[in-house]
Amino acid sequence: MRVVGCLLCLFVLLTLVTSCFSKKREIQKAASQLIEKESKKVDTSSCKSSNADHIVKLRLKDKGKELLACLLKNLELNVEDGWTWSELGTMYDRQGETSKATTCLKQAAKLSGKISSHIQKWHYIGPFVVGKPEVDGDPLEFYGSVYNASRQRYDKKVKYYSELVNGCEIQWKKITQKTAADSVQVNPQINWNELVSGLGSLAITEWQGWAVGEFAVNQQNENVLIQCLGITTMFVDGIFLAGDVYRRSQYWYSVPLTHGIHTLYVKLRTKGTQVFQCNIKISGTEVLEVHEPIMKPDLVDGHLFGHMIAVPVSNLHSSKWIKSIKVTIASHSYGSPVIIHQSEATKRFGIAPGQTIPVTIEIHHKDETDNMPCKDTKFILKFSTSDGHSQQLPITLRCRNSDESFVYTFRDHDGSVQQAAAIAPLEDCPNDVCPVLLTLHGTGVAVQNQADSYKRMENGKWIFGLETAWVLASTRHGAHNWEGPGALTSITALDMLKKLSQEASWLQSKASAHHVIFAGHSMGGHGAWHLATHYPDRALAVMSLAGWIKKEEYGDSNEFFRHDTSTSHTDPAVKAIMEACIAENNADIHISNLKHVEILTRIGANDRTVHPYFVRRMYRLLKEQNSSVSYDELPGKEHWWWDTWETNDGGAVNDKQLRDFVGKHSKNIIIGENDEDEESYCDTEDCDDVGTDTRYSGAQTASERKGQYTLTLINPAFMEGLHGVKVIQQTVPFRISRVEMDFSSDKVTMVTTNVAKFTLYEPVLSPVDWMTKIVKVDGSEFSGKAITQIVTGSSYFCKLQGKWSVCQMESPDFETHRQRGPANLGPARRVAENQFLIVTGTHASADIVATLQQLAVYIANLFFLTSDTIAPVFRDNDLTEDTASQYNLIVLGGPQENSWTKKILQNGIPLTVDENGIGLGECLFSHHATGALLLAPHRGNGLALLLLGNSIQGVEDVVRLASPTIPPMTRSPFSNLVPDYIITGADFKKKGPGGYLCTGFWGNQWDYRRETASCAC
C-alpha cells in the first residue's frame, strides 16, 4: 500500500513538473514569436545604442519608436535579459497593447522572477542646503519636482544650483548597488571643513537631496512589500511610504502595484554621508505578521509590576483590511500561570492595508499570593483575525529581585503602552511612602541602564538605588528631547509608579507622585529643567547635570531658521508664530518658576558634548533671582564618568555629593499615606517632635509663607501651576504670561500680565491654605466664600472689561466648543496628547479614496516608527458617534470627501470650504493647490486635526507637515513648529514655510485673530 502511495505521489510530482516545463516552453515560444514578428516591422539599425542607460533615457523622454528599436536590438544580443523584457512589456502596456505586454512580462518573470531582486542603479541629486526644522523648501520643486527633474537624470547638460558647492552647479550622479544586501552610500565631494570654518557653523554640513531608482514588477496587481532603512520618507510612483531612520529591518510596508517598471524616490537628508538601504519583495500568502513585543513588564519578587504588553502587528496586504485581532493564550510552559485581558476597543480596531500598529493586552497572574516564587514566566500568545489568519508568539517575562532595577509598563497619556525602570528605596520611609527621584536619560541611553547608573560600590559590593527615595527612570522612543510626548510620558510614569506601588500589598515602600526630585543628565539634564519649571509644585529639588537649555541653541542640533532654504521667502510673522509653538520648551524663559526650589547643577569642565556655557547661563539666571543653587565644574571630567573622587563611587549621576543632596531633600520627609496630607520634616533623631518645617532652606509653611514669586508660562496647556496658582486662559495666546505673587501672613497680592482666567488649588507638597487668605488681584480684593468656591473648583478668576471677577465654572461657555482652556488649547501636536484615531474619507472617486487611505496609513506608521504611538485608522463610514466621542481625531479629506470633516467644521471654526476656495477670516485662497491643516473642537474639550484641501495635491501638501526629517533621530508627527492652523499654497513645496499663505493660533473662542495670524488679507 505504501509503495502504491509513493508511486502516486511521484506521478503527481512528475505531472506538476511537466506542466511547469510545458508552461515555460509556451511562454518562451510566445516571446520568441513576438520578437520575430516585431523585428520584421522595426529597423533596429535606427537604434544609436542598445546600452541599458540609453534605453531608460529614451523611455523617460517618451521616444517610443526609437525605444522599441533599441529594445529589440538589445534582445537580439541577449534574449535572456529579464530587465529588457520588463522594459518592453512596460512600453507595450503604456501604448495599450495589452497582449504584447503580457507576453513580455511573463517572459521577464520567467527570467528574473516576479519582481526585481533589488535596485541596481541609483541616481542622486544633491547636496542642497536645508534647515534644521522638519519643514523646508525643496529646490527641485522650482524645476517641476523630483518626478519631473528625475526624467532628465541621464541628460548631462541639465544642471541645478546649490550654494554648498564650488561654482554653485550640480548634476545627477549615478551609484551602483551590487547586491540586495549592500547599503547605498551617497557621499557628495564637498569641502565641508571650508564651509564650517567660513560660516562658523556645523549645521551647514546637513544637506538634502533625492535618490531615484527603478524596479520591475512582472505580474499584474502584485502586493509589493518595501522597506527603506536610514531615511524617513519614500515615494513609490508618488505614493507616500514611511521609511525608518532607526533601521529596524522587521517592518515592511505594502503597496499595490501593477506590472511594469516602477520608480522609488528616496528623500535624502543627512550630515556628510547618507547611508540607506531599500529592500523590495513580493508578499507571501500570509497577510498577518506579529513582531516581538516593544514593551513588557518584569516580575518583581514573583509579582507582576505593571500589566501591559504591546505587540506590533503588521497587515502585509496592500488592499485588504484586517478587521479585528483577537489575542488568546495558546499555552503556558513555565512559571506562575497568567491570564490576559484584551479590551473590546482593540478587538474592534481594524488594521489598515500596509499598517503596523501595536496591539495591547493586559496580563495578570491567575492566582496572586503574597509569596510568589521569583522565576521567569513563559507562555505563548495566539493572534487571530476574523478571516482565519493566525500567528503565535512566545513571551518570556523575567523575574527581578526587589533590590534590583526592574522594568514596568503602563498605559500612557495617549493610550500607547510605555515603560519605565525603577529601583525601590534601600530603607523604609515614614508612613511607608517615599519621595521619587525622577531621572531622565541622555540620547541613546537605555532606560534600565539609566536606573542602574544609580549605583556605587561599598566594601566590594555593588549597591543599587537610594536610601530613602525611589529611583524612577522614564523613557519614550524618539527625538522628543523630554518635551511634548516625552515630558507627558515621564509624568504618567511617575503617577503610575505611585498607583502600582500602592496597589502592591507585598511592597512596603510606596511612591509619592507629588514629592519629586527632578534629575537628569545631558538631554536628561534639559529634561530636568523642563519638567521642574512646568511642575514646580511637585519639586522637592532639582539636579540638572550637563544639561542644555533649549534644543535650538544646543550645538547644531536644531538651529532655528539659519540655513533653511525657506529663509529667503518666509515672512517674519510666520517665524514668530512657529517659534511660539516651541517656546514653552525654553527652560530659561521659565526660570522664575524655580525660585523657591533648591538646585544642584554640575558639569565636567572638559565636557565638549554639552559645553559648560549652558549650565553657567542657568546658574547666572538662578543667582540673579536669588535662588538657592550650587554649581560645580569638575576639573578634568568630560561628558560622562564612573569615578568622581574614588573608584566606583557613583560617578556622574550618583557620587557622594549627589547622594548627599538627594538625602537632604528626601530623608525623614513624612508623607500622608494617600499622598494628599501636608508634608512634614523630621528634624530630630527620634522624630518625637514632628513639626511642619521646611523641606529645604528658605521656604515657609502654609501659615508663615512670605516672599515674592513669579509664575511664568507660554502655554497654559503645559503648566501645572506654581504655589497653587494655575493660568487657564491667556489674553493673547502663546505669548508670555506672568503672575507676580507677594505672600504675607494673611494676604497674597498678585499682579498679572497677559492672563484672562486663572484658578487656585492647594498643592500637595506645600499647601497654601488659600481659604484663610485675602487675595488681591491687580487691585481687586477677594476673600472668604469667593476663594472657597475657586479652590473647590466651582469658580475661577476671570477678567471682564479689564476688571477681575469670580466666574462660575459651570458657566455654559467654559471650555465648550466656543471657549478654550488648558484641555483644548493648541498647538497642533496636542491632538496626539490623548488617545486619537485617524479618519480617512470615502466620499470621492476611487483614486482619491485610495490616496486618502494611503496618506492616513503613512501618518499612522510615522507615529508608530517615531514614538511607538498607537494610531488606529478608520474609514469615515465605519466610525460611529459613540466611538468618535471617546477619542481625538486626525481627519483626512475635505467636507465633500470625509463626513467627519463636515461635522467638525460645523462646530464653528471660522473656515469655509466651497467651490470658490478656502476662506479664513477675511481671506480667500482659491488656487487649486491650496491645503489646510486646522485644529478644531471635538467632543466637548476634545480636539480634531483636519487635513484638507481644494485638491488632492493640497491634502498631500499638509500631510507633509507630519513628515519627520531630522537625522539621526526623528520626532513624532506634527510635534514641532506646527501651530493651530496652516494654509499652504502652490509654492509650499518650493519654499517651505515661505509658501504658507496663512498660519497662526485661534483665539479663546476658536476665533480668527489678526494679532495671532501671519496673514492680513
pLDDT beyond 80 at 9: no
Q: CA-CA distance, 682 to 669, in Å (whole number)? A: 6
What percent helix, strand, coil does the chain show, rounded to 5?
30, 30, 40
Are 712 and 759 in a shared domain? yes
Residue 680, strand partner residues: 670
Average pLDDT over residues 471-491: 96
pLDDT for res 8: 52
690 part of a folded domain: no
Report which of residues 133 and 125 the model is more confident about.
125
625 part of a folded domain: no
Helix axes 64-77, 82-94, angle to 10 degrees: 150
Average pLDDT over residues 794-802: 92
Least confident span in 98-102, 343-347, 847-851: 343-347
Q: Are 545 and 520 in contact (CB under 8 A)?
A: yes
Q: CA-CA distance, 597 to 679, in Å (whole number)? A: 15
Predicted confidence band at 91 (pLDDT cuts at 50, 70, 90)? very high
C-alpha dist (Å) from residue 61 to 87, 155, 263, 623, 924: 14, 10, 15, 69, 39
pLDDT beyond 90 at 244: yes
pLDDT for res 23: 61
What is the domain-level CATH number for residue 331?
2.60.40.10
C-alpha dist (Å) from residue 371 to 198, 367, 375, 379, 506: 68, 11, 12, 21, 8
Average pLDDT over residues 610-618: 96
Q: Are 235 and 956 in contact (CB under 8 A)?
A: no
Amino acid 700 reads: Q
Query: Other C-beta atoms within 10 Å of 401: how many?
Result: 11
Residue with C-alpha cell 519654499?
991
| Preceding peptide of 127 cis, ω within 30° | yes
Query: In the numeric block, which cell numbers belong to residue 561?
Result: 531658521
Are 376 and 458 in a shared domain? no
pLDDT for res 810: 56
Handedness of CA 461, 462, 464, 466 (dihedral sign): positive
Structural domain ending residue among the three candidates 51, 79, 112: 112
pLDDT beyond 90 at 286: no
Q: Are 594 and 578 in contact (CB under 8 A)?
A: no
Q: Where does 609-746 show beta strands of DSSP type E? A: 629-634, 669-670, 680-681, 707-713, 725-729, 737-743
200 part of a folded domain: yes
pLDDT beyond 70 at 421: yes
Query: Other C-beta atoms within 10 Å of 707: how many?
Result: 15
637 part of a folded domain: no
Enumerate long-range contacts of 612-616, CB under 8 Å, 24 or more apart: 614/547, 614/548, 614/549, 614/554, 615/525, 615/544, 615/546, 615/547
183 part of a folded domain: yes
Are 898 and 1007 in a shared domain? yes
Least confident span in 129-138, 241-250, 329-338, 540-549: 329-338
Predicted confidence band at 964 (pLDDT cuts at 50, 70, 90)? confident
901 part of a folded domain: yes
Name which of 75, 58, 65, 76 is nearest 41 in CA terms: 65
pLDDT beyond 80 at 672: no
Are 422 and 534 in a shared domain? yes
Predicted confidence band at 673 (pLDDT cuts at 50, 70, 90)? low
pLDDT digits (tens, 9 = 90+) for 519-530: 999 999 999 999
Are 380 and 349 in a shared domain? yes
As a whole number, the mean pLDDT across the chain is: 90
Tell me the pairing of strands 455-458 and 461-464: antiparallel
Average pLDDT over residues 322-339: 89
What is the domain-level CATH number for residue 670?
3.40.50
In the DSSP assignment, the letter for residue 167 is T
Average pLDDT over residues 959-966: 90
Structural domain ending residue among the three candidates 254, 284, 314: 284
Q: CA-CA distance, 456 to 399, in Å (whole number)? A: 23
Are 233 and 270 in a shared domain? yes
pLDDT beyond 60 at 201: yes
What is the domain-level CATH number for residue 33?
1.25.40
Query: In the numeric block, which cell numbers belong to residue 79?
Result: 534574449
Q: CA-CA distance, 430 to 415, in Å (whole number)? A: 34
Q: CA-CA distance, 588 to 533, in Å (whole number)? A: 9
pLDDT for res 724: 96
Structural domain ending residue among the three candidates 377, 400, 423: 400
Element (DSSP H or E) covering residue 513: strand 510-521
Least confident span in 340-349, 659-668, 704-713: 340-349
Are 795 and 831 in a shared domain? no
Give the strand order in the sheet containing 836-840: 873-875, 836-840, 888-892, 942-949, 931-938, 981-984, 996-1000
pLDDT for res 813: 45
pLDDT for res 271: 92
pLDDT beyond 50 at 287: yes
What is the domain-level CATH number for residue 851?
3.30.379.10
pLDDT digits (tens, 9 = 90+) for 150-181: 999 999 999 999 999 999 999 999 999 989 89
Report which of residues 43 and 445 the model is more confident about.
445
Give how many domains the chain has, as a whole number: 6
C-alpha dist (Å) from residue 910 to 214, 818, 935: 45, 12, 11
818 part of a folded domain: no
pLDDT beyond 50 at 873: yes
Q: Length of the chain in residues, anyone?
A: 1017
Buried-state track 821-836, b at ≥16 Cβ within 10 A, e below 16 = bbebbbbbbbbbbbbb
Predicted confidence band at 367 (pLDDT cuts at 50, 70, 90)? confident
Q: CA-CA distance, 517 to 438, in Å (whole number)? A: 6
Average pLDDT over residues 284-296: 91
% residues pLDDT > 70 (the chain): 94
Q: CA-CA distance, 927 to 773, in Å (whole number)? A: 59
Q: CA-CA distance, 524 to 454, in Å (whole number)? A: 14
Q: CA-CA distance, 953 to 471, in Å (whole number)? A: 50
Report which of residues 96 and 25 the model is more confident about.
96
618 part of a folded domain: no
Are 162 and 262 in a shared domain? yes
Are 80 and 49 in a shared domain? yes
Predicted confidence band at 812 (pLDDT cuts at 50, 70, 90)? very low
Are 859 and 968 in a shared domain? yes
Element (DSSP H or E) covering residue 905: helix 899-905
| Residue 282, φ and ψ in degrees, nearest 5 | -85, 135
Q: Within a 13 Å sphere around the CA of 243, how many CA atoms are in the beta-carbon half? A: 30
% residues pLDDT > 90 (the chain): 78
Q: Tell me the pTM.
A: 0.94
DSSP string across 517-582:
EEEEETHHHHHHHHHHHHSGGGEEEEEEES--S-GGGSTTSS-SSSS-GGGGT--HHHHHHHHHHH
Between the two ends of the chain, the Cα-to-Cα distance in Å is: 90
Are 952 and 988 in a shared domain? yes
Q: CA-CA distance, 42 to 71, in Å (whole number)? A: 11
Are 131 and 249 in a shared domain? yes
pLDDT beyond 50 at 306: yes
Query: In the numeric block, which cell numbers belong to residue 1006?
Result: 476658536
Domain interval for residue 885? 825-1012
The alpha carbons of the chain give a radius of gyration, in whole angstroms, of 32
Name which of 852, 836, 978 is nearest 240 in CA terms: 852
At CA 234, angle to CA 230 and CA 235, rounded to 5? 165
Q: Are 724 and 770 in contact (CB under 8 A)?
A: yes
Q: Exposed (0-12), middle (13-18) or buried (19+): which is 8, by Cβ within 10 Å? A: exposed
Predicted confidence band at 132 (pLDDT cuts at 50, 70, 90)? confident
Predicted confidence band at 555 (pLDDT cuts at 50, 70, 90)? confident
| Residue 397, φ and ψ in degrees, nearest 5 | -105, 120
pLDDT for res 705: 66
pLDDT beyond 90 at 601: yes
At CA 243, angle to CA 121 and CA 351, rounded to 5? 130
DSSP string across 233-262:
EEEETTEEEE-BTT--TT--EEEEE-SEEE
Query: In the numeric block, which cell numbers belong to residue 523?
Result: 538631554
At CA 561, angle to CA 556 and CA 567, rounded to 5? 140
* Dihedral (Cα; 464, 467, 469, 475), 10-degree rounding: -10
